[in-house]
Amino acid sequence: MVVPGADGVFGVLAGHIPVIAELVPGVVQVIDGDSTEKYFVSSGYASVTADSVCNINAFEAFKLSDLDEAAAKKSLEEANGKLQTAAEGTPQRAEAEIGVQVFSAMVSALQA
């Protein structure tokens, strides 16, 4: 498993140390033998247990293949527009900043 942590992307293999990590917007890769499933997560937490089990608690998660790049780009443009007009220190500004962060990561993931 590959996880987008706040301190950087990290892999979880057998023998991994127990850890709790904040997730940032990005792609979680679930690797099972020769197959890999990719999910986009907006945020959340990952916990790795002493027996190397990784639990993902995401606020939103979507199969990467189910996302629409054009819609993600449009949402990024809208979030950037809101960011330009929102006053510092307001909830609207915070919401716009989160939108820019999430949709920027989503567009990057879809273009990779």
Topology classification of domain 2-65:
ATP Synthase; domain 1 (2.60.15)
Provide the residue ranges of all domains of the chain, joining segments of one domain with +: 2-65, 68-111
Q: Residues 41-84: pLDDT tens digits?
A: 999 999 999 998 999 999 999 999 999 999 999 999 999 999 99
Q: Residues 6-49: pLDDT tens digits?
A: 999 999 998 999 999 999 999 999 999 999 999 999 999 999 99
**N-to-C CA span, the chain:** 18
- This prediction has a pTM of 0.90
Q: How many other β-carbons are positioned within 10 Å of the β-carbon of residue 83?
A: 16
